[in-house]
A and B are shown apart, each in its own frame.
Chain A
Amino acid sequence: MLAYIINLVTLISINAVLAITLNFIMGYAGIFSMAHAVFFGVGAYTAAYFALNVSASFFLAVPVAMLAAAVLSLVLALPALRVRGEYFVAASLGLQVLGVTIFSEWKGFTGGLGGLIGIPPVEFFGYGLSSNTQYMVLALACLLLVVLVTTVLLRSSFGRNLKAIRDSESAAHAFGKNVATIKTLSVAISAALTAVAGALYAFYLGFINVESFMLDTSVLLMAMVIIGGTGTLLGPIVGAMLLMLLPSLFSYMWFLPATEIGSIQQIAYGAAMILLMIYRPGGLVGASKKQVAK
C-alpha cells in the first residue's frame, strides 16, 4: 500500500509539473498548445540518451534535457508567432503528430517503438538514487522548484508582459512590447521546465517509449489545466491530482465491472469537462461563471 502511494505521489508530481508548464503558456500567454507531450518526450529521451551514453548525473543530464527542449521549442514558437487562436491549435496538433513519428522512427536516438531501456538511476555527486521514496522526494522537490520559478516569473514584469499579450495583443504592441520575443521566451521557459518532468520520468521508470508522449498525453495535460483552472497558480496542481487519482478511485469501486473501468473513466472525464465548462468555465480553482461572464 505504501509503495503504491509513493508511486502515485511521484507520478502526480511529474504530471503536476507538466500541467504547470502547460498552464504557463496556455493560461498566461494565451498559447493553446496541443504538443506539450512532445516537449515532455524530448526531455525524457534527451536525459535518457545522455544517461545511457555520457553521464547519469542529475546536474548534467537535466540541464542538457532542458536545453534541448528549449531549443526545440522554437519549432513551436514559430507558428505561435504567426497564427493565433484555433489556427495555432491546429498547427501544434501537427507538431504533436510529427513528434510522435520522429520518436518512433529515429531508432538511433529514441530506440524506435521499443524505446530506451536500462536507463541508469539518476546520480547526485556519484550517488545513485535507488529507492522509490528517494524518487518521490526528488519529484516533490522538482515540483516545488517549478512552482517557485513560475510564480516568481508570473509576478514579475515578465508575467505582466505575458498577461498583457493574452488580454490584448494589439494594446501590448501599442505600448512597445515586443510580442514575438516575449512569446518565444515564454515557450522556451515552459519547454525547459517541461523537460525536467521528462528527465524525472525517464530516470524513475528506467525505460521509456513513445506511448507516454502521444496525443492523448497532451490532451490529458490540457484537461488537467482546464479542469483545475486555467491561468491560476493552484489550478494545474489540483487538476493533475484529480485526473491522476480518478483511475485509482474507480478501481476501488467494487460494484463497477473491472473490464469496463477504462470506458467508464473516459465517460467520467468527458462528462466532467462538459459540466465544468457549463457551470465553472474558470476551472475548479478559477473564478466562478458569474465573475468570468461579467
Chain B
Amino acid sequence: MTGPDNQVLLRISNLQKNFGGLKVTNDVSLDMRAGIVTTLVGPNGAGKTTLFNLITGHLVPTGGDILWNGKSIVGQPHWKIARQGIARTFQDLRLFDQMTVLENVLSVMEPVSWLWQPGGRAGRRAREEKATHILERTRLIDKAHIRAIDLSYAERKFLSMARIMATDARMWLLDEPASGLDRGSYELFLELLRSEVRNGVTVCIIEHNLDIVVGISDRIAFLDQGRLLADGDPQTVLKDPHLAAIYFGEQAA
C-alpha cells in the first residue's frame, strides 16, 4: 500500500505565500501519493493550515505551483478545485449550523447551483440512502433531524467527518479532526479514517496528538515557520532530536 511507486495525486512544487513581508509558506515542495496518509506536524504558526488554504484555492500562492493529476490548479476558484476531488475540513468545523444533521450531509452531495440536482427522484433517493449510511457509521443517525448547532462537541466533530465522507473526493485535507476527542470517540475516528483510506481516499491530516500521528501516518511532513524541515516515515522524523526540540520546545513554552 505504501511506497514511492504510488501515483502522485497532488504535487506541490516550490510553493510560496507571502503576507506582506512575512513568508508564511516558504519554498515548500511535497508530493501526495495515492493511498498514503501524510501528516503535517509543526508548531503553531508553522503554516500548516495555510498550506491547506493554498491547495484548496482559499488563498492564491505568491509563487510556485500545485498540480492535481498533473495539471496546475493554481488560480482556480475554490469551488472548482473542490469539484475536481479535493475536499477539506476546517479546524473551526464551519458546519451549516442552522441546518439539520441530515441536511448538512445531503447538501454536500448537491453541488449543482441550479434549482434541482441531476438524477431526478432516483438520484435523490440514492443521496438520502448514502447520507443515512454515513450517519449510521458516524453514529449520528439518532440526531439526523437535530440542528448542527445543538450537537455536542464530539458530535460536531463527527458531523464534520460525515460531511467529508459524503463527498466523492479522492483527496481529503483534515485540519485537526481529532483534537479534543475522548478515547472512545477517538477510536471511532481512527476506525472511520482507516476504512476510508482502504477504500482509496488519500489523506493529508494536520494533527498535534502524537498517538494519532503515529497510529495512522505513513509519512510525516514537518513544517516550521513556513518551511518544510523534514519529510519521511514517522519514526525517522519523530526521532530527529532537532525537530523534537522545535516541536516540544514550542509546546512546553
Contacts and interface: CB of A to CB of B under 8 A. Distances in A.
B137 interface: no
Contacts of B225: none
Contacts of A185: 113-115
A221 B244 CA distance: 61
Contacts of B163: 175
Interface size class of B (residues with CB under 8 A): 20 to 34
A158 B117 CA distance: 8
B237 interface: no
B78 A160 contact: no
B79 A176 contact: yes
A157 B128 CA distance: 12
Interface in B73-106: 77-80, 82-83, 87-88, 90, 94-99, 103, 106
Nearest to A160: B107
B167 interface: yes
Nearest to A163: B99
A294 B149 contact: yes
Given A163-B98, A170-B90, A156 B79 contact: no
A99 to B, nearest CB: 27
A160 B110 CA distance: 9
A231 B103 CA distance: 16
Contacts of B149: 294
A185 B149 CA distance: 27
A161 B107 contact: yes
Interface string A156-170: 111011011011101
Given A156-B115, A160-B103, A163-B103, A170 B58 contact: yes
Nearest to A165: B96
A178 interface: yes
A176 B107 contact: no
Q: How large is the interface on A (under 10, 10 to 19, 20 to 34, 35 or more residues)?
A: 20 to 34
B108 interface: yes
A289 interface: no
Nearest to B90: A171
Interface in A153-204: 153, 156-158, 160-161, 163-164, 166-168, 170-179, 181-182, 185
A280 B98 CA distance: 17
B79 A173 contact: yes
A186 to B, nearest CB: 10
A167 B79 contact: no
A294 B107 contact: no
Which residue of A173, A181, A182, A185 has the most chain B CB atoms within 10 A of its CB atom? A173
30 contacts: A153-B115, A157-B106, A157-B117, A160-B99, A160-B103, A163-B96, A163-B98, A163-B99, A163-B107, A164-B96, A167-B95, A167-B97, A167-B99, A168-B95, A168-B97, A170-B58, A170-B94, A172-B96, A173-B78, A173-B79, A174-B82, A174-B87, A175-B82, A175-B107, A175-B108, A175-B163, A176-B79, A182-B113, A185-B115, A231-B98
- What are the nearest 4 A-B pairs in CB distance? A176-B111, A171-B94, A176-B82, A157-B110
Given A160-B106, A164-B99, A168-B94, 12 more contacts: A160-B107, A161-B110, A163-B98, A174-B79, A174-B87, A174-B88, A176-B80, A176-B83, A177-B79, A179-B79, A182-B113, A294-B150
